[in-house]
Amino acid sequence: MDYFWPCICSLWVIYLWETYLSARQRRVYGHVKEVPSELKAVLDQQTLIKSASYQLDKSTFSLLHELFGQIVLTGVLFLNALPFAWNLSGSVIGYFGLGTEYEIIQSLAFMILLTLFSKVVDLPWSVYSTFYLEQKHGFNKQTPAFFIKDQIKMLILNTTLTCVILPGLLYLCHWGGTYFYIYAWLFTLAFSLVLMFIYPDFIAPLFDKYTPIPEGKLKCAIEALAASLNYPLKKVLIVEGSKRSAHSNAYLYGFWKNKRIVLFDTLIQDGLIEKGIAQCSPNEEDVQVVASEENKVEQKPEQKLGIRSILLRGEEFGNTSRGSHNDMNETKFKA
């Protein structure tokens, strides 16, 4: 059976549906002209207008970016660019005296080529978003040098992770036989859990600086709030996000009894860290942001989404296995 046209049609149906939903949300940004009565105590008219303008610009950018991505994907499929990239990766390793029997190495070269292509195609959009859209609304704090360094770090990180996970997946596909999808599913699940453990301490600091919050009333207020919600808080950190953006935010992460809260330094009162003020009054907005995040944790949506993601990934591997009738146990390969 020819799956090409059903695949193309499915991609565009999904795209059109998501675009319709985004367009509906975009209309909301344009229709909100006055602060709702419920928010007048915490939001003024000028802030509402600025926020709506920013969201409208972001929505327009997102719609155009997604359309461009959909056209590129369709072009890749129509032009048989993936087989071309696979053959090109074979030529690359052949230059070093390696043949097609080195499947793992060719697959790595193939994925690296796709990563580079994706990065080059998306780079103009990233530049526009950072240095025009965010700059226009006063949020961008990145210099061109900082941006380039960030892009290089992400490219190296993505390539490194690909080189770690892909050989394992290919080996399991050959070794696992009929039930390879179960082993592949478990492998990707284990790898994802390992990444979640090492990300805060080893990966995130590659991009931003994290420091413990100074002793003071703000820290005490956050710890008291966590205790009132039975949230097992171990650390409160401040991330130096002001070099990247003027946006303020906070997030929580961790497993079981080892939870952490991270505040963007843009959320903290100006001069709090630099001056080392230990007895300053906590900014009520800071505590409200953390309270909002802890309330989400209390409702445990991330556990439900995590379980759903695990099950969907298993289903994807299962569907892949049903489409394959080759006996992979007999395949020989070198690495």
How far apart CA 100 and CA 113 sit, in angstroms, is 17
Q: What is the distance of C-alpha 334 from the center of its chain?
A: 33
Buried-exposed string 204-237: b where 16+ CB fall within 10 A, e elsewhere: beeebeeeebbebebbebbeebbeeeebebeebe
Residue 127 CB contacts under 8 Å (≥ 6 apart), including other chains:
147
How far apart CA 115 and CA 109 sit, in angstroms, is 10
How far apart CA 274 and CA 311 sit, in angstroms, is 46
Residues in the chain: 335
Is 316 catalytic? The answer is yes
Q: Which helix (H) or strand (E) holds 254?
A: strand 250-255
The answer to whether 186 and 310 are in contact (CB under 8 A) is: no
How far apart CA 271 and CA 214 sit, in angstroms, is 12
Selection from 188, 189, 190, 196 nearest residue 254 by Cα: 196
Q: Within 13 Å of residue 231, how many CA atoms lie on the same side as its CB? A: 28
Which ranges in 129-216 belong to alpha helices (H)? 134-136, 144-175, 180-198
Catalytic residue among 66, 223, 240, 316: 316
Give catalytic residue positions: 316
